[in-house]
Amino acid sequence: MTALQDTVLVLLVLSSFALLGASRLGACIRFVALQGIVTGLLPIAVSGHGPTPRVAVIGATVILIKGFFFPHLLTRAMREAQTRRELQPFVGYVTSLAFGVLALIGSFWLDSRLNLPIHGASDLVVPVALATMIIGLFLIVSRRIAVSQVIGFLVLENGIYAFGVAIVRDVPALIELGILMDVFVAVFVMGIAIYHINREFDHIDTDRLTMLKG
């Protein structure tokens, strides 16, 4: 258990929990930016004896895109939609946090039962990545506002990325950057979708889209 690695992992989980408990969209965007930076630090932290230039470049790209560019896009979407906070999520904040605790316990249990053939860089990476993925999925289904759902998607992606780092440790740079490109396009498309939903209906409450008739 090295201190840097564990601090990074603890921050990763704590930022997901902060997202479960935060109601202001501005705060949510800041937390997801923090999580993006932490995710970028993860490959550098697990690489033990000094990062190779390739790992450093990938880490820096992840930090740049997830820590600064996505938050900027989301802030703009939030400003255009003039939505400051998630008023009535499908699941309340305290219940969400309770679910997060259950997800954490569940992922630790799952990890102890999985018996993965490859051992991760640290004993904690796999359960932390699983918990982050579950929390991300939960955020997508439990929030009403489109911006929060995009944030949930980003959390899910961070979890998958952490899982990949844990299991494979040495992904070719091309694949790594390709995945990053996909996420980038996805967030971009979601930003455009938010803009259009907002322009058509004066709000970004996706729940009310179910009432549309063709």
Closer of 124 and 183 to another protein (Cβ): 124
Q: Which stretch binds another protein (CB under 8 A): 4-12, 25-33, 73-81, 202-210?
A: 4-12
CA–CA gap between residue 64 and residue 12 (Å, rounded)? 17
Residues 37, 4: Cα–Cα separation, whole Å: 14
Contacts (Cβ under 8 Å, ≥6 apart) of 181: none
* Least CB distance to another protein at residue 210 (A): 29
Residue 100: CB minimum distance to another protein, A: 7
77 binds another protein (CB under 8 A): no
- Tokens read off for 174: 């091309």
Stretch that binds another protein, among 60-68, 97-105, 113-121, 186-194 (CB under 8 A): 97-105
CA 76 → CA 70, 79, 84, 172, distances in Å? 10, 5, 12, 33
**Angstrom distance (rounded) from CA 139 to CA 18:** 12
**What whole-number distance in Å separates Cα of residue 67 and Cα of residue 98?**
27
Would you say 128 and 66 are in contact if contact means Cβ atoms under 8 Å apart?
Answer: no
The answer to the question of residue 114 lying near another protein (CB under 8 A) is no
Task: Decide: 136 and 96 in contact? Cβ < 8 Å.
Answer: no
Minimal distance, residue 84 CB to another protein, in Å? 17
Distances (CA, A) of 166 to 26, 156, 173, 181: 30, 15, 16, 21
Q: By CB under 8 A, what part of segment 121-150 binds another protein?
A: 123-124, 127
Q: Does 167 bind another protein (CB under 8 A)?
A: no
Find the binder of another protein among 87, 101, 114, 192 (CB under 8 A): 101
Site for another protein in 8-37 (CB under 8 A): 9-10, 13-14, 17, 21
Contact between 69 and another protein per CB under 8 A = no
Determine which residue in the list 44, 55, 78, 104 makes contact with another protein, applying CB under 8 A.
Answer: 104
In the complex, the residues that contact another protein under the rule CB under 8 A are 1, 3, 6-7, 9-10, 13-14, 17, 21, 93-94, 97-98, 100-101, 104-105, 108, 123-124, 127
